[in-house]
Chains A and B, each alone.
Chain A
Amino acid sequence: MANEVQTTGGGVGRTAAEDTRDTSSIFRPATDIFEKDDVVTLTIDMPGVASDSVDVSVENRTLTVRGTMEAPVPQGYRRIYAEYAPGTFERAFSLPDTLDAEGIEASHRDGVLTLTLKKSEAAKPKQIKVKAA
């Protein structure tokens, strides 16, 4: 069982020492971050992670996302080639003071986690009226 993975000609196959059921690997998910008006959006790739196993937390202005892949082995099949491995996606982002840590909205679709953060009231540009003396 542990020996079922063969190294491929391209050298991308995993070695036999790594087991299919090994989920201890931690990956840094690819992330896009963009800003528009008062909203900062994070788009995080988490393929194979079910929506209910995505974990988003904020502690000391550090935003952490985490999710473990579900990688069932197809019944009656053996793996002959591998370019990606099962594991856990984890990544932390530090939130600047200008972002509101309370109002984070998260959604998950097609293996992509989307977080929207709003700029805090204090960081929004303010118009100051000049009073006539």
Chain B
Amino acid sequence: MLTYGLPPVQWDPFAELRQLQSQMNRMFDGGGRNAGDGVWPPVNMWLGDDSVVVTAEMPGVAQDDIDLTVRENTLIIAGRRNPSTEDEEAAWHRRERPAGQFSRSIRLPLRVDADKVEARTKNGVLEIEMGRPDAERPRKITVKAS
């Protein structure tokens, strides 16, 4: 789960150790061949007045292979990334691109309305724009002079 802003209230030193361990494992794995480790694709997040934008680098994933789920303040990007070739007779010289099923859950800084989600891909970058529910928009209150 992606966190943003302030660190979680309870600091778990073992979580950092586990993270380090998984990073070490990945280093010795000979490259991130597996996309299903929960940290793929890499994302950036942008905040606007009443909406949030998440962009994700996912080259080689066709638009139809992306599955998006939005619930309250959680966004799940899932799908499948095809390997460069599925030919078993091909001889590999280098294999650095992650492939396979992936699913990533991202916590958003605000609750979003599932009807206000717009997603598009361009050159392998996915952009998801999500709007806040109308009822939760901050309202301006005018102060009347008495």
Contacts and interface: CB of A to CB of B under 8 A. Distances in A.
Interface in A1-38: 6, 8-10, 30-36
B4 A9 contact: yes
B45 A81 contact: yes
A86 B67 CA distance: 25
Closest 8 CB pairs of A and B: A111-B124, A111-B59, A9-B7, A77-B46, A81-B45, A47-B124, A83-B42, A33-B93
Q: Which of B42, B60, B85 has the most CB of A within 10 A?
A: B60
B124 to A, nearest CB: 2
Interface of A: 6, 8-10, 30-36, 40-41, 43, 45-51, 70, 73-74, 76-84, 110-112
A110 B62 contact: yes
B80 to A, nearest CB: 13
Contact of A111 (B6, B44, B96, B125): B125
B75 interface: no
B109 interface: yes
Interface string B51-62: 001000111111
B92 interface: yes
B53 A32 contact: no
Contact of B47 (A8, A70, A77, A110): A77
> Which size class do B's interface residues fall under?
35 or more
B90 A36 contact: yes
Interface in B88-136: 89-98, 109, 121, 123-125, 127, 129
Contacts of B125: 47-48, 111
Contact of A34 (B62, B93, B98): B93
Contact of B84 (A8, A43, A51, A70): A43
A80 B45 contact: yes
Interface string B18-62: 000000000000010000000000111111110001000111111
B50 to A, nearest CB: 10
Contact of B91 (A36, A43, A110): A36
5 contacts: A8-B4, A77-B46, A81-B44, A84-B57, A110-B121
A92 to B, nearest CB: 14
B13 interface: no
Given A9-B8, A74-B53, A112-B59, A35 B45 contact: no
B2 interface: yes
